[in-house]
Amino acid sequence: MNAPRGILFDKDGTLVDFDHTWGPAAGAVMRRLAGADGQTLERLFDASHYVADERRFLQTSPLIAGSSRQYGPLWADILARAADADFYEQVDHLFCEEGSRYLTPIGRPAETLARLHAVGLPLGIATNDAEPNARLQADRLGLSPYLSAVYGHDSGYGSKPNPGMIDAFAALTGLPASAIALVGDTRHDLETARAAGAMAILVRCGPAPVDDFAHEADLVVDSVEELAALLLGAHAAGPAVA
């Protein structure tokens, strides 16, 4: 494939360690929502495919790739709450608090993004997390100086797998979508890239294997660090990436 001229990164499972961050954080959020109602808490765990004793999600969990707007109606029904903006806002706020408490990066993402930024590549984040939380985590991980944009499910461009975040980044950078790579760890990321006509790059460092759909991607790597090594080598040698 041709080397991308701009890169959007998924956040969780790509830059942020999903299991170590969102495993404990999600358990804490569900406990706060359920309060003293143990039966409701167990129903939240079951619906979320969450193994409470191990503080982790099963690979079938709707929370691995979905936004609060996507799994939220299920939670709202269990909690006998209206699935409305107020509920989603509360869920996002709780995840912001608990996610900050347990935030764990994959490798050294600030160093990696700094290297890519130094060669002039526009960089951004496209996540199904809420934008305020994504910005907070980017700040805490030292990523913000290297980012031209941070898009969340609430930024006005839709959630993945819709192509709106890539379209917005293309408009911002002036690049065609075909020159932009979306780097992520789920089928949602792959489908988002395909819907926008962008390059699809998968990383294997997320909570679920990508083997079943890896053949549909333009490139598969173990981590963002490995991707950077390939792209920086291609940048020095020419426009193509093997």
d(CA 9, CA 12): 9
Close Cβ partners of 237 (under 8 Å, ≥ 6 residues apart)? none
Q: Give the other-Cβ count within 10 Å of 150's Cβ.
A: 26
Note the pTM of the prediction, 2 decimals: 0.85
Low-confidence ranges of the chain (pLDDT < 70): 234-242
Across the chain, which distance is largest between two alpha carbons, in Å?
A: 61
d(CA 219, CA 190): 11
pLDDT in tens, 172-192: 999 999 999 999 999 999 999
pLDDT score of 208: 84
pLDDT score of 235: 63
Phi-psi region of 187 (alpha: psi -120 to 50; beta: other; left: phi over 0): alpha
Distance of CA 122 to the CA centre of its chain: 18
pLDDT score of 78: 97
Q: Give the other-Cβ count within 10 Å of 43's Cβ.
A: 18
